Amino acid sequence: MLLASALAEELRPVRWPRGARRGYTACTRVLLPEVSDQEFLLVAHWRRPGVRVLLLLVSPPARRPGRRAEWFVKAYRRRWGVEDATRGIKQSFDLEAFLVRTWRSLRRLLWLVGWAFWWLSLWGEPGYERLREALLSPPLASAEGGHLPVRLGRPHAPLRTPSQTKD
């Protein structure tokens, strides 16, 4: 890591380029004999001048020609977002407790998690106060010891018992 940091310092621009609003990215080819005998790319990204390197990546060369260092940084950030979200979902919903053996069951589990996540995201929205109130408040007790129905939608006509309908 120290050698990579030293190489990154050599890549740092002496003068910050104009129009580098998203930072400055540079790369160089490096050999890592302890890993492989092929060349790797060392990609360094700085957000602002005068600060330490923000992102330091070692990657195999791009398979498609014309890929620039900025592409590696963008791809890494996108991938890191996916990894972070996956880790968060797994920890929040305790997915490690479920054992799935087929692709179909994995897809079903992830759909279930997606719907649960969507529901929990909407739970705090302003339009759902009545639903939250109805689900979180204890049911009303009737005179017979049963529970009265909780109405969530528009008011309906009053409920009639069989004795009230024999007129």
> Which pLDDT tens digit goes with each residue over 87-146?
777 777 777 777 667 778 777 888 888 888 788 777 778 887 777 777 777 666 555 555
Q: For position 90, what pLDDT does the model report?
A: 72
The per-residue pLDDT of the chain, averaged, comes to 76
| Average pLDDT estimate for 147-154 | 54
Secondary structure (3-state) at 165 = helix
Residue type, 140: L
* C-alpha–C-alpha distance, residues 6 and 9, integer Å: 5
Q: CA dist 138 to 124, 128, 131, Å? A: 20, 17, 13
* C-alpha–C-alpha distance, residues 84 and 146, integer Å: 48
Q: For position 121, what pLDDT does the model report?
A: 78
Which residue's structure tokens are 């990609």? 43
Would you place residue 18 in the very low, low, confident or very high pLDDT band (cuts 50, 70, 90)? confident
Q: For position 1, what pLDDT does the model report?
A: 58
Q: For position 28, what pLDDT does the model report?
A: 86
Q: What is the pTM of this model?
A: 0.48
